A and B are shown apart, each in its own frame.
Chain A
């Protein structure tokens, strides 16, 4: 009956009763699992915080710190809240089972635990854990730490909340002729390099990339987590983006490859931030007038030949050392009121 299908998975057994602890450990080891045990909740929690485990089997009735308290502690702990827990107890009363599940336990097994049932539940739990880890990894890769954490904390739900922040749109100028002038593989490579550079600049200043489409991207500063200097952070990001593109162009020139230019628009103010889409496919994004203004400003860089354009509210939020130039009010399509437009001067071209 020795089996290694979950080989390497690490389990923590927490039970104050020695016979229970030994028997559970034995059953689990026979399944090919690595087992560590603790004699009460306090000791168990310390072990979880020191070491990494894939699953915990938790007794409820224990001195020092009981199972309910352990479950509550886990729920509060960002690092540990996703650890699957199977409660093993001979506690009387259905309300206790309900309480465990409400506190986040994955499953509940009555003691003495039937080994076959134990094996099935552990298999299911480890599989769920594996999928969850994979999902977390995906979210991390395609969103970023802040959105991933926000998702973990609040759970996934469509719908938004009102926030104050800055939105940045960036686009490669004359991208279509550029793409047509070279093999598609080179265009993809160029885009990958471009996005890597831009993502670095954005996350380095506390922003998140909300959307990318073709050669354009949208970044948000101030959501899902509030950012005190969101205007300043967005503009400094824009300046860094321009600087990185200049460096990138030097490299391109050395390889006799085409140069690129970008236009950036930034708008600040209130917006609605949240997940839009369906439960199957959704993105974290922001909508509202502020977003529209930022998008229009980005498009307007073509007309002004200024790489970075910002609105009045963004300008108000800037700290001292960034110089801007008033370009006067502009009437954008679809907007009743004109927008005060300011051009930001990259230090190098000053």
Chain B
């Protein structure tokens, strides 16, 4: 597992303050919500809805930070801050990179919540 997918300190702190069982449920919620967000980002890009794009990226950033998914949060933040134009220029490539990173995050979170 490469470095930096999930910041363990952040995740442990979350478990400590909110409770392990609750965090496990929260991870499930995130894993069921996030694919929809990724899809909505792509739809917003195709429909040229910059505002919606920014809002969804913002939401994804916020959730990534909650679980300590630092890299995913950084990518989402870049999309939030003027990433719409960049994503369009690069034919949606940043969204593919984002989806890839999300895949790694999802895998690790699933393992961590069992631990």
Contact = CB atoms under 8 A, between A and B. Distances in A.
Interface of A: 1, 16-20, 22-23, 26-27, 30, 61, 63, 90-92, 111-112, 115
B40 to A, nearest CB: 11
Interface in B61-101: 61-63, 65-66, 77, 80-81
A20 B29 contact: no
29 contacts: A1-B17, A17-B33, A17-B59, A17-B63, A19-B63, A20-B62, A20-B63, A22-B26, A23-B26, A26-B18, A26-B22, A26-B26, A27-B17, A27-B18, A30-B18, A61-B55, A61-B58, A61-B59, A90-B58, A90-B62, A90-B65, A92-B77, A92-B80, A111-B65, A111-B66, A112-B62, A112-B65, A115-B17, A115-B18
Interface in B1-49: 17-19, 22, 25-26, 29-30, 33
Given A26-B22, A111-B65, A91 B29 contact: no
B26 A91 contact: no
Contacts of A115: 17-18
Given A27-B18, A91-B58, 19 more contacts: A16-B59, A17-B59, A17-B62, A19-B29, A19-B33, A19-B63, A22-B25, A22-B29, A23-B18, A23-B66, A26-B18, A26-B19, A30-B18, A61-B55, A61-B58, A61-B59, A63-B55, A90-B58, A90-B61
A111 B17 contact: no
Contacts of B17: 1, 27, 30, 115
Contacts of A27: 17-18
B26 A19 contact: yes
Contacts of B61: 90
Interface residues of B, number: 20
Nearest to A113: B66
Nearest to A91: B58
A19 B34 CA distance: 10
Contacts of B77: 92
A289 to B, nearest CB: 60
A162 to B, nearest CB: 49
Contacts of A92: 77, 80-81
Nearest to A110: B65
A19 B30 contact: yes
A187 to B, nearest CB: 62
A109 to B, nearest CB: 12
Nearest to A118: B17
Contacts of B19: 26, 30
B38 to A, nearest CB: 14
A26 B80 CA distance: 27
A135 B38 CA distance: 50
A17 B17 CA distance: 20
Contacts of B80: 92
B83 to A, nearest CB: 12
Given A61-B58, A90-B58, A19 B66 contact: yes
Nearest to B63: A19
B34 to A, nearest CB: 9
Contacts of A19: 26, 29-30, 33, 63, 66
Contacts of B81: 92
